[in-house]
Amino acid sequence: MTADNPLTDYEAYLRLKGASPRTIELYLHYLGHLFQFLKVEPAAVSTLTTAQLRTYVASLQERGLADKSVASEVQAIKAFFHFLVDEGYLDGDPAARLPTPKVARRLPKTLTVEEVRALFGAMGGNSRVDGRNKVLFHMCYVAGLRIGEAVALRTSDLDLDEGVLRVVGKGDKERRVYLKAYTVELLMRYIEQSGVSDFLFPGRGRDHITVSTVESQFSRYVKRASIERRATPHMLRHSVAVHYLLGGAPITFIQQFLGHERLATTGIYTQLADEMTKKIALETETALEGIAKKDRGRVKEKGPRYEVQKDRWDRFVRQALGGKKAARWQPP
């Protein structure tokens, strides 16, 4: 371990493990806050106690941070101390019994099939940018890609003869996505017309298009498609998972398709599918809806007479339940 700053060793470990740059940045940011609050240099990490760590976590809650934010910081602290113990730098782990706030798991936001169709219908235009964007968002949906995965795609990741896409996800884990014929044709036409040879969606210079540019372009199409609620490009990944489930795909397929390590992570999409099924069941008009509406109309037409008969029935039931001699019920 580097004597002056053990965080340097931890950063190197995270990079070797394949953590994303964003994860590394957040973990080091959280740990920097910890040492600053406790007024302890990172080199003196072995002097920290469980009581001190608990005091820090309590300070986060006192500041009014959301449970999810506090839980993220606690996770970063636990991971750091677990690294120190695992590598033999500490004999005991002061963070082992650090309480983590329970965070209610929120359902991912999705787009309906109709909204997705409207969105892609709004991506018309013959400009080079519109052509690139349509292919990019098409891949986000049909391949269930995270935005970072989509912008980093290279032409070498495609095997158009076999219709297979190689995706490098979180932790540098690879997965294979099988593409349908119309997607392969779209990609072949795009590559031929755009002349791309390295990054599939190039930006300025030699790098790929940025995530912020993608998000800005997506917002433009959402507005053009008259989708009134807030929508992000990441929702395409969530949406296709739910749409596959509604189409009868097994949950294990969704797990492999999205590149989830644990099936429990994928399980939340079944709840989304249930919610969508419920919405469809309650809001879709079937053959009997018209008859039901007419029946309700007849009841309404009865007006006061119907209410009088209802009151007579209610009194009859109350008398019967109370053991009193009820008047003989005469139906209307």
Q: Are residues 252 and 323 in the same domain?
A: no
User: Got the DSSP string for 154-204?
Assistant: BGGGEETTTTEEEEE-GGG-EEEEEPPHHHHHHHHHHHHHH---SBSSB-S
Catalytic option among 132, 146, 208, 243:
146
Closest CA to 202 of 134, 137, 154, 146: 154
Q: Does 119 reside within a domain?
A: yes
Domain range spanning residue 305? Answer: 298-332
Q: Are residues 50 and 130 in the same domain?
A: no
Q: Which residue has the higher pLDDT, 29 or 102?
A: 29
Q: Are residues 271 and 328 in the same domain?
A: no
pLDDT in tens, 5-19: 788 899 999 988 878
Q: What is the CATH number of the domain that holds 10?
A: 1.10.150.130
Q: Give CA angle at 175 (195, 246), nearest 5°.
A: 100
Q: Give CA angle at 36 (12, 58), nearest 5°.
A: 105
Q: Are residues 164 and 49 in the same domain?
A: no
Q: Which residue has the higher pLDDT, 280 or 133?
A: 133
Q: Does 309 reside within a domain?
A: yes
DSSP annotation of 327 reads: P
Q: Are residues 229 and 309 in the same domain?
A: no
Catalytic option among 234, 238, 243, 244:
234
Least confident of 20-34, 54-68, 268-282, 293-307: 293-307
Q: Are residues 51 and 158 in the same domain?
A: no
Q: Are residues 25 and 131 in the same domain?
A: no
Q: What is the pTM of this model?
A: 0.61
Q: Which residue has the higher pLDDT, 218 or 4?
A: 218
pLDDT in tens, 58-84: 998 888 888 888 889 999 999 999 999
Which pLDDT score, from 0 to 100, does residue 276 have? 75
Please compute the mean of the pLDDT values over residues 85-110 and round it to a whole number: 83
Identify residue 198 by its one-letter amino acid code. D
Q: What is the token pair recorded at 173?
A: 């884990």
pLDDT in tens, 225-246: 999 889 999 999 999 999 998 8
Q: Could you tell me if 100 and 12 are in contact, meaning their C-beta atoms sit under 8 angstroms apart?
A: no
Catalytic option among 132, 134, 208, 260:
260
Which pLDDT score, from 0 to 100, does residue 6 have? 83
Q: Is the pLDDT of residue 110 over 50?
A: yes
237 flagged as catalytic: yes
DSSP annotation of 95 reads: T
Separation of CA 185 from chain center: 29
- Token look-up 């080091």 returns 28
Which pLDDT score, from 0 to 100, does residue 10 have? 92
Which pLDDT score, from 0 to 100, does residue 144 have? 93
Identify residue 6 by its one-letter amino acid code. P
Query: Counting beta carbons within 10 angstroms of the beta carbon of residue 153, is it exposed (0 to 12), middle (13 to 18) or buried (19 or more)?
Result: buried
Least confident of 93-102, 134-143, 239-248, 278-287: 278-287
Q: Are residues 120 and 257 in the same domain?
A: yes
Catalytic option among 33, 170, 224, 312:
170
Residue 1: pLDDT band (50, 70, 90) is very low
Q: Does 277 reside within a domain?
A: yes
Q: Are residues 252 and 127 in the same domain?
A: yes
Q: Are residues 273 and 315 in the same domain?
A: no
Which pLDDT score, from 0 to 100, does residue 3 have? 47
Which pLDDT score, from 0 to 100, does residue 2 have? 47
Residues 6+ apart with CB under 8 A from 143: 150, 165, 167, 177, 179
Which pLDDT score, from 0 to 100, does residue 154 have? 93
C-alpha to C-alpha distance for 151 and 259, rounded to whole angstroms:
17
Q: Does 95 reside within a domain?
A: no
Q: Which residue has the higher pLDDT, 268 or 82?
A: 82
Least confident of 87-91, 263-267, 289-293, 296-300: 296-300
Which pLDDT score, from 0 to 100, does residue 264 have? 79
User: Got the DSSP string for 104-165?
Assistant: PPPPPP---HHHHHHHHHT----SHHHHHHHHHHHHHHHTT--HHHHHT-BGGGEETTTTEE
Catalytic option among 132, 237, 238, 243:
237
pLDDT in tens, 187-210: 999 999 988 889 999 887 778 989
For the chain, give the mean pLDDT: 84
Identify residue 179 by its one-letter amino acid code. L
pLDDT in tens, 16-50: 887 878 888 999 999 999 999 999 888 888 899 99
Q: What is the CATH number of the domain that holds 187?
A: 1.10.443.10
**Which phi and psi angles does 177 have, rounded to 5°?**
-120, 130
298 flagged as catalytic: no
Q: Does 263 reside within a domain?
A: yes
C-alpha to C-alpha distance for 260 and 173, rounded to whole angstroms:
10
Which pLDDT score, from 0 to 100, does residue 283 have? 76
Q: Are residues 267 and 302 in the same domain?
A: no
208 flagged as catalytic: no
269 flagged as catalytic: yes
* Element holding 282 (H helix, E strand): helix 268-283
Residues 111-144, buried b or exposed e (16+ Cβ, 10 A)? beeebbebbbebbeeeeeeebbbbbbbbbbbbbb
Q: Is the pLDDT of residue 124 over 60?
A: yes
Q: What percent of the chain has pLDDT over 90?
A: 41
Q: Are residues 314 and 262 in the same domain?
A: no
Q: Give CA angle at 248 (246, 253), nearest 5°.
A: 105
Q: Does 97 reside within a domain?
A: no
Q: Which residue has the higher pLDDT, 313 or 160?
A: 160
Q: Could you tell me if 122 and 221 are in contact, meaning their C-beta atoms sit under 8 angstroms apart?
A: yes
Q: Could you tell me if 207 and 108 are in contact, meaning their C-beta atoms sit under 8 angstroms apart?
A: no
Q: Does 235 reside within a domain?
A: yes
**Domain total of the chain:** 3
Q: Is the pLDDT of residue 256 over 50?
A: yes
CA atoms within 13 A on the CB side of 298: 5
Q: Does 108 reside within a domain?
A: no
Which pLDDT score, from 0 to 100, does residue 329 have? 44
